[in-house]
A and B are shown apart, each in its own frame.
Chain A
Amino acid sequence: MKVVVLVNAVPDTAATPEIAPDGRSVLTEQLEFVLDPYDEYAVEEAVRLKESLGAEVIAVSIGGDVARKALRCAFAMGVESGVLVRLPGGMELTGRGRSFCLLPTLRELSPDLILAGKQTVDSDDAQVPERVAELLDFVHASAVSQLTIGEGARLLVNREIEGGHLVIDLPLPAVVTTEKGINIPRYPALPQVLKAKSKPLHEVAPPLDVDLTAGWQVESVTLQHTARKQQIFSGDIITGVQQLAELLRQDA
């Protein structure tokens, strides 16, 4: 079984971003990048398939040096090799462009299963895995919280839906995106971090015959500052607690 896991690097959520002077992008130079937390679930799930079924796991990313970092994080967690679709410095693509650029690599790898995080935490994009599924003509299930490999190249996945669970039986090849709770991603121990450097990472150029224009542009990016209400309840404690409980019920 061959599993491809799509990974993406995002700014550390603990970091405070700064807006570029043009007001249309975020300054990334000072930001620490990490493997997207949703992708971590996908990587963990892929590595578990490697450990339990002997699956071959390949991580694939698109971008520049930051994307390379995401691949190495995946290596440290147990993925054995990776492919980076290297974009020229500073080149930014939309979900559509990224999907088209990933396509030749994914076709060549010809996986049985593609795993990816259900969305990126930075821009909340949730496009690439779905677009890739369509382009490859694979079946697709998103935001999966449990995954079991069934008999005869089939897959059982569990999706949490409002008030219940949905169990879906899928044929392979398939694209599955991972939701929080599917597993607890491991911390790579230090020897794995050291070994990650020597794992094979192939770089390929994006295809030239694709129209990568987005068809849209970002008008502005702003940071949201939430001001605290700082409400103080006076009077006796019973009334105060009741007022607080009421407020929490209404506003929280």
Chain B
Amino acid sequence: MNFALNEEQTEIRDSIIRFARQELSVSADEANGFPHAAWRKCAEMQLMALPFPEEYGGCGADFLTTVVATQAFGYACKDAGLVHAVCTQILCGMQINSFGSEELKHRYLPSLVRGEKIFAQAITEAGSGSDALGMRTRAELAEGGYLLNGTKIFITNGPVADVVLVFAVTNPEVSRISGISCLVVEKGMSGFTQCAPMAKMGLDTLQNGELVFADCPVPAENLVGSAGQGAILFNESMEWERCLLPAAHLGTLERIFETSVAYAKGRSAFGQPISKFQAVSSKIVEMKMALELGRLMLYKVATTKDQHKRAALEASIVKLYISEALKKTCLDAVQIHGGYGYMKEYEVERDLRDSIAATIYSGTSEMQQNIISRFIGL
């Protein structure tokens, strides 16, 4: 077993860290609304192009390299909202690339990889979050395609999206597993309304909001995959998502770990650096362990996905472990920084607010535990 990254991955990582530190240094709290300028820079850097075939303008990188790049991005970019928005873009593209028709790929992937169009995926509804497949948004067969009706909520990139992958019930007669489909809806289609972004506890630059579909006609060729394939698409995309988002989180965790080490070594109390106090150092030791252990499992999931194998169990473990570790790391970092940690100036409080969402989106920690226990056979 070789636990080292290859030269290409190291260079991608270093390039992203340098790019993010120098070009995306604006404090996220100062930003107002969707960070369009930073988004453009990320697009020029071709961050969003990484895992896609070159024929659509992508870089042709494998998933592990994409994960390493995302980790570097989460490490060096302090705007977790921007990082999440970019991840969402990549994840939408992966669904189109893996399940979409040739026509859909040619229509959407080039503008997705160039960041010219912003993509979102709409699954969650007011009445179904964890129970995602219990959705009620309906896509009825109509002339030339489908008629979409329903409301999605909390949709990441939703308020600013040009293209949305909407999951809806196409056949309520069959089981939930085979009655859901994924449709591409574009901004400006009749009957499609994007509501204003919702105010949140953290991830200030990330735009989340309600999407309303009222007799919205969707052409049949906008179906991603085949009719009734929605749940399969959903399950596959969750494996990618539960690896890519934790990659960004692990990067953030590493940054906070380094910030905490530097502060604990530089801050003195009772005549010695506070890092010499065991109550402080043990918190940092926990951070380091989470970083090292999380990384092993993260790369395992990414490598498994590159081998085109299922990794639902491992992805749930990674998602649960890293998101909870990030939340704890942020909380401990604030505590290590004391009064300064509670002040906005030191920036760790923002990471804490951002981190709370990590244990909720993409399946709550409780849902991940359910999934893991189901795999164990409990």
Q: Report whether chain A binds chain B.
A: yes
Give, as a whole number of angstroms, the nearest-CB distance from B93 to chain A. 15
Give complex CA distance A196, B69 in Å: 17
The 10 closest A-B pairs by CB, nearest first: A189-B46, A190-B46, A191-B59, A193-B15, A187-B19, A193-B11, A189-B45, A190-B59, A191-B46, A193-B12
Contact B46 A187 (CB under 8 A): no
A72 at the interface (CB under 8 A from B): yes
A168 at the interface (CB under 8 A from B): no
Contacts of B8 in A (CB 8 A): 193-194, 197
Q: Which residues of A (51-84) have their CB < 8 Å from a CB of B?
A: 72, 76
Give, as a whole number of angstroms, the nearest-CB distance from A95 to chain B. 27
Contact A76 B15 (CB under 8 A): yes
Among the listed B18, B23, B49, which residue makes an inter-chain contact with A190, where contact means beta carbons less than 8 Å apart?
A: B49
Contact B69 A190 (CB under 8 A): yes
Give, as a whole number of angstroms, the nearest-CB distance from A14 to chain B. 8
Contacts of B11 in A (CB 8 A): 72, 76, 193, 196-197
Contact A194 B59 (CB under 8 A): yes
Q: Which residues of B (95-148) have their CB < 8 Å from a CB of A?
A: none
Give complex CA distance A197, B50 in Å: 16
Question: B11 — nearest CB in chain A belongs to which residue?
Answer: A193
B173 at the interface (CB under 8 A from A): no
B7 at the interface (CB under 8 A from A): yes
Give complex CA distance A189, B61 in Å: 13
A97 at the interface (CB under 8 A from B): no
B44 at the interface (CB under 8 A from A): yes
Contacts of B44 in A (CB 8 A): 187, 189
Give complex CA distance A193, B60 in Å: 12
Give complex CA distance A190, B61 in Å: 10
Question: B6 — nearest CB in chain A belongs to which residue?
Answer: A197
Q: How large is the interface on B (under 10, 10 to 19, 20 to 34, 35 or more residues)?
A: 20 to 34
Contact A194 B12 (CB under 8 A): yes
In addition to A32-B14, A190-B46, 5 A-B residue pairs with Cβ atoms within 8 Å of each other are A34-B18, A187-B19, A187-B23, A190-B50, A190-B59
Interface string of A177-189 (1 = CB under 8 A from B): 0000000000111
Give complex CA distance A188, B59 in Å: 13
Chain A residues in the interface with B (C-beta under 8 A): 32, 34, 72, 76, 187-191, 193-194, 196-197
Contacts of A32 in B (CB 8 A): 14
Give complex CA distance A190, B13 in Å: 10
Contacts of A191 in B (CB 8 A): 46, 49, 59
Contacts of A196 in B (CB 8 A): 11
Contacts of A190 in B (CB 8 A): 12, 15-16, 45-47, 49-50, 59, 61, 69
Give complex CA distance A72, B61 in Å: 18
Give, as a whole number of angstroms, the nearest-CB distance from B181 to chain A. 33
Contacts of B49 in A (CB 8 A): 190-191
Q: Which residues of B (35-54) have their CB < 8 Å from a CB of A?
A: 44-47, 49-50
Among the listed B16, B19, B23, B61, which residue makes an inter-chain contact with A194, where contact means beta carbons less than 8 Å apart?
A: B61
Contacts of A194 in B (CB 8 A): 8, 12, 59-61
Contacts of B61 in A (CB 8 A): 190, 194
5 A-B Cβ contacts within 8 A? Answer: A190-B15, A190-B16, A190-B47, A194-B8, A194-B12
Question: B21 — nearest CB in chain A belongs to which residue?
Answer: A14
Q: Which residues of B (44-76) have their CB < 8 Å from a CB of A?
A: 44-47, 49-50, 59-61, 69
Give, as a whole number of angstroms, the nearest-CB distance from A127 to chain B. 28
Contacts of A187 in B (CB 8 A): 15, 18-19, 23, 44-45
Give complex CA distance A10, B180 in Å: 56
Give complex CA distance A187, B18 in Å: 9
Give, as a whole number of angstroms, the nearest-CB distance from B20 to chain A. 10
Give complex CA distance A189, B49 in Å: 10
Give complex CA distance A34, B16 in Å: 13
Contact A188 B7 (CB under 8 A): no
